[in-house]
Structure 1
Amino acid sequence: MNTNELWQAVLGELELSLSKANFTTWFKNTFISDLEEHAITIGVPNMFTKAWLEKKYTKEILRSLQELTKNSIKQLSYRVQSRPTNPQGMPLFEKGTNPEPSPSPSNQQASYYQPQQTHEVKEIRTGEFSLNGKYCFETFIVGKQNELAHAAAQAVCAQPGGIYNPLFIYGGVGLGKTHILQAIGNELIRKNANTKILYVTCERFTNDFIGALRSNRIVEFKNRYRTVDVLLVDDIQFITGKEGTQEEFFHTFNQLYQNNKQIVISSDRPPKTIPALEDRLVSRFECGMLADVGSPDFETRCAILDTKCLEKQYSLERDILHHIATVVQTNVRELEGALNKVIAFHQFKNTRPTLESVKPILSSFQPTSTKKNITPKQLIITVANYFDIHMDDLLGKSRQKRLAFPRQIVMYIMREEMKASYPSIGMELGGRDHTTAMHAYDKIMTCLLEDEKLQHDIELIKQKLYAL
């Protein structure tokens, strides 16, 4: 038996005792990277996995290794390291004997067990958002509801422009479509830093096209969109009713497709059900791979919460995580929102969460489908009252931070909760330009990744808004 065979045996035992979501999330791309005297090092893809395996699974892994090697393995450690494409198994030593000497530096086998050089994910400002390094396959939780989309996305990364071209991913709000699109971009950049990738929302594509027409820069526009290696387009459903944009996207699609360039598109519904979408675009979108993503099941929701807690370096008891996963069944975005709400409340109170303290916090949590309709005026009044400022000041031209930041929060919530377009958001906020609304949304999105007080503020504003 060599190290490859040993690790496959260990994984086989672990798979029997774990849910599919947990097994796939934490043990995919792991391998035995080093073997020394009575000690084994496991290679893992990232720090999240390393920390989680150390915390949750070391005893089980070590016990399984000892059973399979007749107690020859005494120590277990982890190392962040890319898995070789074809790792060569190292021979195991028998109990009571010394391990075989390490290969000499001249032996090419040694290179399989050296950390491979990886490219940092570049921040590519090609559209409304940059590629965000946190959106990668390692942080994407796989369950029954998204395993097809996940597998198709990985196939695209293995062979861009291949049989899964275009890849069309559809599903409801907050189910991970953007995560998959950006993970594809980040993975392809990791493999080849020179890959030319363009990630845009449909609205950005439309705005760029209109802007190019108005400023007589259509050639520049075409060069930007038609010379990429990979085009990632989010929320294509917003192309509905825009005849000129559909015409331009059709020609952009054709040129990329004919040049074997990869196209990945996301939508909240399948192509045939997008209103007023031209038949020729429906045909193009359906000629590759269609993959849907649905709401996560209970096990997947628990795995998602585990990962989010690890990212935030915050520990919650299992019964609390189970309660959150039971209460929030809609999508990943609301699941993380509920978790943020629990964490922020107890951090401000400086107390440890208990099941009894968490239940009231989530008692008002309601699925999106049951939320009542709100108006821009109600939102503006709610935010003005929350920050104790006059509504006229909020709508005014002052750029003082005490007014500008609440104004940006209004724009963010109007976009997230009301699905308002950027031009309409600008008009509601004192007739501002749509680019101001875009900048505000982008800024708040970025701040929310790190600022837990802002997360708490927006959650409270939404509670007050829906309680009206």
Structure 2
Amino acid sequence: MQIGNVPSSEVKHIWDQACAQLQIQLSPAVYNTWIVSNPVSTLDYLEDNKCLATITSPTAFHSTNLKKNLHLQIKQSLDKATGKICEIQYVIGSVSFSPTSNKSGRSQQSGFSTVGKTIRPELNQNNHGTGKSSDSFFAESQNLSSSSGFNTQSPRVEDLFSESILTSASEDRTAALVRAIGLRKDYTFETFAVSTTNEMAHAAATAVSNRPGTAYNPLFLYGGVGVGKTHLMHAIGSNIIKNDPNKKIIYCTGEEFTNEIVQSIQKKNTSLFKSKFRNADVLLIDDVQFIAGKNAVQEEFFHTFNALSKQQGQIVLTSDRPPHEMNLLEDRLRSRFEAGLMIDIQVPSFELRTAILLVKSKAAGLSIPIDIAKTIASRVESARKIEGVITSIRSEVELKGKFISEELINSLLDTEIVEKRPSINTSPSEIIKTVANHYRLKQTALKGKRRVKSLVVARHIAMYLLKNELNLPLAEIGRWFSGRDHTSVLHAVRKVEKDLKTNDLIMRDISALRTTLSLTSR
């Protein structure tokens, strides 16, 4: 039994046979609009009497609606023409074809070719709005001859060429491809705020997007929640598409990769899974740590990784931890991850959080004063939570007509709209030690009664952290500092809270101290 890629001449012959069937079933308008310009470009014979047909469309608009409305008819025609069970992969790429007329007067494709590579695997129709429900495309039933054995529906001409559809069809191609792959259009290099905590990751991601497969392969980005890993991954994909729309890019999470391989095993069509992932030009896997401990998934990922590496396919991975901390990850995968460029993206600094907030709020159409931006940055430590704050502010402004003010921001930050920063798992002595080390002071001096300005500032900050991180009673905090009474502690806490609104140095110090404490408490 023949297995492998079918020669182009045979693909053309099979597609001509399928088109002959489709011409019987479909009206001339439907056939000429949706079949002629969306040919089968490649065909692969697989095991178990199956085959994989790739249909190449000029736009995401065509591909999405073809899949949703004519998939069954095309599949049945290909099954009959090949004598096999066909699966169809819908991709976007450059297509050239030469339609001719048959005896019935309808256009029939006599030849076609795809220029360059396809850019992506099967589309997810649920992710792409067209401005009009595509169910209306094929709302009119059509009776077929009894010899064909098919049932289908055909569109009204006014639906096919309505203003909303024409507008959608002319949408910027790059934006359509970005959406088709599943990337966020707002996660670009232009909207990524750079500082010392992420500049290396940004530089590496930019290099990879400009020279995929040759610079830093694989690229492994790791770090905590909200540090920008996913943003950079999406930016890489978007920039590659911008530079070369014909690149075949696959983006998914580790969980989605796992689910796909499990489903393919259950349905006994792992060959389709392999063909999809191993023929990619670029593979982007977010939260790859999810595959650790799953033997069948790791086995398939290992072979996928090797296949892409051999053909210089670019691999980009993100994780919440470095490979050596993934206890259930197979050694052979760990060694491959570590063979590339690994970058630890640190928690964003106060300055970076402020920059992120200003950039993202501007993109959302909000004008947030710098002093209010600093207030938010001093209280919200995750870039992802900053996005939540901006969303809340926008709803208050647009839906309730409120003005952006200190009172509004404090109200939002104090409610459950924004997930509050989890308390650090540490002790009073550890906080005092960390503050003393940060300011290069002796702990005895920090806890003592001397009132030198440098000591007073550090002492107030230590008291503030004991109250905010451990929620200790004021009297108990006072006992840690030579028996001071609760009013002295309350004054210190309120002084720091006031300074956080205006004093950049205090903001940076407390942010750095919290980062240190969170690392030492792991």
**TM-score, normalised by the number of residues in structure 1:** 0.51
Residue equivalent to 1:318:
370
Instruction: State the one-letter code of the partner of 1:356.
Output: E
- Give the CA deviation at 1:289: 0.2
After the TM superposition, which residues 51-450 of structure 1 pair with which residues of structure 2 at under 5 Å, given as runs? 120-123=174-177, 130-329=182-381, 331-364=382-415, 367-370=420-423
Whether contact under 8 Å (2:220, 2:343) holds in the other structure is yes
Aligned CA distance change for structure 1 residues 211 and 174 (closer, same or farther; 3 Å):
same
For residues 278 and 300 of structure 2, what CA distance do their matches in structure 1 show?
11
For residues 179 and 302 of structure 2, what CA distance do their matches in structure 1 show?
24
Aligned CA distance change for structure 1 residues 370 and 348 (closer, same or farther; 3 Å):
farther
DSSP 3-state at the match of 1:370: coil
DSSP 3-state at the match of 1:131: coil
Instruction: State the one-letter code of the partner of 2:306.
Output: N
What is the aligned-residue identity percentage? 43
Instruction: State the one-letter code of the partner of 2:194.
Output: V
Whether contact under 8 Å (2:216, 2:341) holds in the other structure is yes
- Give the CA deviation at 1:125: 7.0
Whether contact under 8 Å (1:131, 1:199) holds in the other structure is yes
Whether contact under 8 Å (1:146, 1:294) holds in the other structure is yes
DSSP 3-state at the match of 1:286: helix
- Give the CA deviation at 1:157: 1.7
After the TM superposition, which residues 23-62 of structure 1 pair with which residues of structure 2 at under 5 Å, given as runs? none
Instruction: State the one-letter code of the partner of 1:227.
Output: N
Query: Once the two structures are superposed, what CA deviation does each residue of 1:399-451 show, in whole Å capped at 9, x if it has no partner?
Result: xxxxxxxxxxxxxxxxxxxxxxxxxxxxxxxxxxxxxxxxxxxxxxxxxxxxx
- Give the CA deviation at 1:343: 3.2
- Give the CA deviation at 1:354: 1.6
> Which structure 2 segments of 5+ residues have no match?
1-171, 426-522
Aligned CA distance change for structure 1 residues 347 and 125 (closer, same or farther; 3 Å):
closer
DSSP 3-state at the match of 1:206: helix
How well do the aligned residues superpose, as a CA RMSD in angstroms?
2.1
Aligned CA distance change for structure 1 residues 252 and 368 (closer, same or farther; 3 Å):
farther
- Give the CA deviation at 1:342: 2.9
**TM-score, normalised by the number of residues in structure 2:** 0.46
Structure number with greater CO (CA < 8 Å, separation at least 6) is: 1
Whether contact under 8 Å (2:187, 2:234) holds in the other structure is yes
- Give the CA deviation at 1:348: 3.9
Whether contact under 8 Å (1:119, 1:190) holds in the other structure is no
Aligned CA distance change for structure 1 residues 213 and 223 (closer, same or farther; 3 Å):
same
Whether contact under 8 Å (2:291, 2:298) holds in the other structure is yes
For residues 385 and 376 of structure 2, what CA distance do their matches in structure 1 show?
10
For residues 313 and 321 of structure 1, what CA distance do their matches in structure 2 show?
15
For residues 363 and 246 of structure 1, what CA distance do their matches in structure 2 show?
43
DSSP 3-state at the match of 1:141: coil
For residues 235 and 419 of structure 2, what CA distance do their matches in structure 1 show?
30
- Give the CA deviation at 1:224: 0.1
Aligned CA distance change for structure 1 residues 231 and 285 (closer, same or farther; 3 Å):
same
- Give the CA deviation at 1:346: 4.1
Residue equivalent to 1:73:
none
Query: Once the two structures are superposed, what CA deviation does each residue of 1:133-173 show, in whole Å capped at 9, x if it has no partner?
Result: 22211111111111111111111122211240000000111
For residues 360 and 302 of structure 1, what CA distance do their matches in structure 2 show?
19
Instruction: State the one-letter code of the partner of 1:355.
Output: E
For residues 333 and 370 of structure 2, what CA distance do their matches in structure 1 show?
47
DSSP 3-state at the match of 1:284: helix
For residues 338 and 305 of structure 1, what CA distance do their matches in structure 2 show?
9
Instruction: State the one-letter code of the partner of 1:370.
Output: S
Query: Once the two structures are superposed, what CA deviation does each residue of 1:93-125 show, in whole Å capped at 9, x if it has no partner?
Result: xxxxxxxxxxxxxxxxxxxxxxxxx96233367
For residues 120 and 298 of structure 1, what CA distance do their matches in structure 2 show?
34
For residues 241 and 176 of structure 2, what CA distance do their matches in structure 1 show?
8
> Which structure 1 segments of 5+ residues have no match?
1-117, 373-468
- Give the CA deviation at 1:367: 4.1
- Give the CA deviation at 1:190: 0.5
Instruction: State the one-letter code of the partner of 1:369.
Output: P
- Give the CA deviation at 1:292: 1.6
For residues 299 and 279 of structure 1, what CA distance do their matches in structure 2 show?
39
- Give the CA deviation at 1:356: 2.9
Whether contact under 8 Å (2:193, 2:352) holds in the other structure is yes
Pick the structure with more strand per residue.
2
- Give the CA deviation at 1:341: 2.1
Instruction: State the one-letter code of the partner of 1:345.
Output: E
Aligned CA distance change for structure 1 residues 123 and 242 (closer, same or farther; 3 Å):
same
More displaced stretch, 335-344 vs 150-159: 335-344
Residue equivalent to 2:63:
none
Whether contact under 8 Å (2:380, 2:421) holds in the other structure is no
